[in-house]
Structure 1
């Protein structure tokens, strides 16, 4: 996980557990519109009132690295 991702998780009060769940069992996966190396993994978080967390991963790196994560108000799953 990149330092930027750690910082935004803390600032946005997103537990690492939710990010791990989105990585291992996402409800939806989207390719990034600009950078083909990035992948967006989305998961509805029941504990957060069914809000959707979007985790952006660099799938070209090994192991895959979390770039950032945020609650996405535009998406419903």
Structure 2
């Protein structure tokens, strides 16, 4: 299992938005769904419903490399919907 690396930006938004690191880690490792970032590869968007936050959706932007998974940012996404 690749280690996760939280960028400085990710650390800042986790603190500012009072996000739970375990929810972010689950979103990366066991997402409900994921998709390529529309801004372009190689970043990936991973989504997971967070029951502890009123079933809101955590969106995590990350960039998987051969050795680790850097987490670029994370936020609770009010508009996220699983594609059908």
Among 47, 53, 60, the residue aligned to 2:52: 47
Tell me the equivalent position of 2:43: 38
Give the TM-score of the pair, scaled to structure 2. Answer: 0.85
- Across the aligned residues of Structure 1 and Structure 2, the Cα RMSD in angstroms comes to 1.3
Tell me the equivalent position of 1:3: 8
1:72 is aligned to 2:77: yes
Tell me the equivalent position of 2:17: 12
1:35: how far off? 2.3
1:49: how far off? 0.2
CA distance in structure 2 between the partners assigned to 1:66 and 1:72 by the alignment: 16
Unaligned runs of at least 5 residues, structure 1: none
Give the TM-score of the pair, scaled to structure 1. Answer: 0.92
1:52: how far off? 0.2
- How many residues get paired? 77
